[in-house]
Each structure stands twice: as structure tokens, then as C-alpha cells.
């Protein structure tokens, strides 16, 4: 099983060669091949001393540099006229280095674009021709249909207002029930302090006779206080007089708090 070792400075032989050329501030079109070859071989020797497995492509490029170096030491070939033909053995290497630098620059731009697009989220294109190509449609109603729709709107509006009024009455009733339980507590508290049983007619628990709503609030208050054993209720006959008396618990510790019967938490809900 083989492993690819990626060094911190370069990833391949051409990366190393470009690094050496740029570090020596040479022109890629005029490489001092003897100097670069020596530096390249020294770098490979350092890698071996550090027990780094040198890939075969590094050795191939090293052999190519040695070949170019040796060819540059040979005299030029003469043509039929006796003129020396100048043949630069570096030309093929320069062409490959130029192409490598172009590819590396393109890879850098792609990496930058990838970093930018990591924070970009796109939405798939949708077909909106149904909305773009169709002409605008106008609502066609006669006067009777328009009047019917307007009446339905008014009906819904009135019904919503009734519901809101009903809800506000419920909130008012809760506050009144708390006040009513406080009022009933004050009626029974003096006698309760003396441990005497006091009977009162239910009508006495409705201040000044009161309206129907006041009677309901007083009745709910008595029910709640009876449930909590602060009061007892007695009625000897059907539709007879209702008498209220002290219960088993002391009213001194009673804290008026309205609750809605049949609902958890004592909060009113709007049906």
C-alpha cells in the first residue's frame, strides 16, 4: 500500500522547481540550469536524510535537469555553412514550467472561489411562466354579488366584535369575583374569629340586590369558597332558601383568587 506525502512547501517536482527559481529570483525563460540543478539535488538529499520517501517523479525531473546541464556543456552543432546552430536545451522545460504556473494560478483562483461559495446558498430555479406569461385577470362581479360579499364581511366583523366583548366581560367577571369573595370574607370574618357559627341568607351576599350578573358572581364565589372548605351551604328544599355558614377552615387565612370551574389553571379561554 502506497502513501502520498505532501510536504509543506510543495506538492510535486515542478512545484519544487518553481519554488527554487522564484527564490533565486531567476527568469523562467533564462534559468541558470547549473545552479538550479545543484539546489534541486541538495533538496532531494535533505529529504532522504529526513527519511522522507522521495517519489519517482522527483527523480525523473532530477535526471532531466542533469541531461539539460550536460547538453549545455557540449559545443553547438554546425550546419552546412559552418555556422553554429544555437539550440537551447531548456526550451522544453520552460514550456512545461509555463504551463504548470498557469495551472497553479487557475487552481488558486478556484480555491478562492470555493472559499467564497462555502457561505453562499442557492435556490433551484423554478418555472414561473404560469405567472409571467398569463395576462392579468380582472374580477368580474355584478352589483348583487358585490353587495353579498360586503354583507358577509360586515357579518364577520360584527361576530368578531361580539367575541371580543364577551372576552372582556370574562376578564371583568374574574376581577369582580375576587372582590366578591373578599366582601363575603369580611361578612363572616368577625364571627369566625369568635369561633361562632354564623348563618346568612344567600341574598345577603349580593350587595344591594344586584343584577343577574352580580347574583351569578356571588354564587360562583360561594361555590369556590365551599369547595375549599371555608364555607358550608345548606338548602332544605328544592328552590328553597340557600343559607351560607362558616366552614371547617379559618377565613383569616383565605386569599381571594378567582378560578374558572372546569378549567385547569383558573384562566378564562375564549370559545
Domains of the chain and any CATH numbers: 13-74+87-114 (no CATH), 168-266 (1.10.10.580)
Residue 31: alpha-carbon gap to chain centroid: 57
Q: Given the C-alpha cell 525563460, which residue does it identify?
A: 29
Cell of 78: 554546425
pLDDT in tens, the chain (271 residues): 444 444 445 567 878 888 888 887 888 777 888 888 888 888 888 877 776 666 677 788 888 888 888 877 776 655 555 555 567 777 888 888 888 888 888 888 888 888 888 888 888 888 877 777 766 666 677 788 888 888 999 999 998 888 877 766 555 555 578 888 888 888 887 655 555 557 888 888 888 767 788 888 899 999 999 998 889 999 988 888 899 988 888 888 888 876 654 443 444 433 3
Beta-sheet pairing, 199-201 with 77-78: unpaired
* SS3 at position 140: coil
Residue 28 Cα distances to 54, 61, 67, 124, angstroms: 25, 16, 18, 46
The pLDDT value recorded for residue 51 is 61
pTM, two decimal places: 0.34
The pLDDT value recorded for residue 186 is 86
The pLDDT value recorded for residue 264 is 39
The pLDDT value recorded for residue 189 is 78
Amino acid at each position: 500500500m502506497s502513501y502520498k506525502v505532501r510536504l509543506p512547501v510543495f506538492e510535486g517536482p515542478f512545484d519544487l522547481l518553481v519554488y527554487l527559481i522564484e527564490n533565486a529570483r531567476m527568469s523562467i525563460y533564462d534559468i541558470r540550469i547549473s545552479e538550479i540543478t545543484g539546489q534541486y539535488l541538495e533538496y532531494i538529499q535533505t529529504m532522504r536524510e529526513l527519511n522522507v520517501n522521495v517519489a519517482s517523479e522527483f527523480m525523473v525531473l532530477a535526471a532531466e535537469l542533469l541531461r539539460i546541464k550536460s547538453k549545455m556543456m557540449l559545443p553547438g552543432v554546425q550546419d552546412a555553412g559552418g555556422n553554429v546552430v544555437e539550440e537551447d536545451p531548456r526550451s522544453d522545460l520552460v514550456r512545461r514550467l509555463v504551463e504548470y504556473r498557469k495551472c497553479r494560478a487557475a487552481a488558486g483562483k478556484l480555491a478562492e472561489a470555493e472559499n467564497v461559495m462555502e457561505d453562499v446558498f442557492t435556490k433551484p430555479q423554478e418555472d414561473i411562466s404560469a405567472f409571467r406569461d398569463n395576462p392579468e385577470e380582472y374580477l368580474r362581479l355584478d352589483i348583487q354579488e358585490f353587495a353579498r360579499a360586503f354583507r358577509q364581511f360586515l357579518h364577520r366583523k360584527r361576530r368578531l366584535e361580539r367575541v371580543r366583548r364577551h372576552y372582556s366581560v370574562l376578564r371583568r367577571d374574574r376581577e369582580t369575583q375576587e372582590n366578591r369573595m373578599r366582601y363575603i370574607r369580611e361578612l363572616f370574618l368577625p364571627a369566625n374569629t369568635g369561633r361562632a357559627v354564623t348563618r346568612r341568607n344567600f341574598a345577603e351576599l349580593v350587595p344591594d340586590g344586584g343584577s343577574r350578573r352580580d347574583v351569578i358572581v356571588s354564587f360562583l364565589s360561594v361555590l369556590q369558597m365551599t369547595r375549599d372548605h371555608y364555607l358550608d351551604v345548606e338548602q332544605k328544599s328544592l328552590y328553597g332558601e340557600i343559607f351560607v355558614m362558616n366552614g371547617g377552615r379559618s377565613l383569616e387565612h383565605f386569599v381571594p383568587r378567582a378560578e374558572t370551574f372546569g378549567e385547569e389553571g383558573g384562566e378564562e379561554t375564549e370559545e
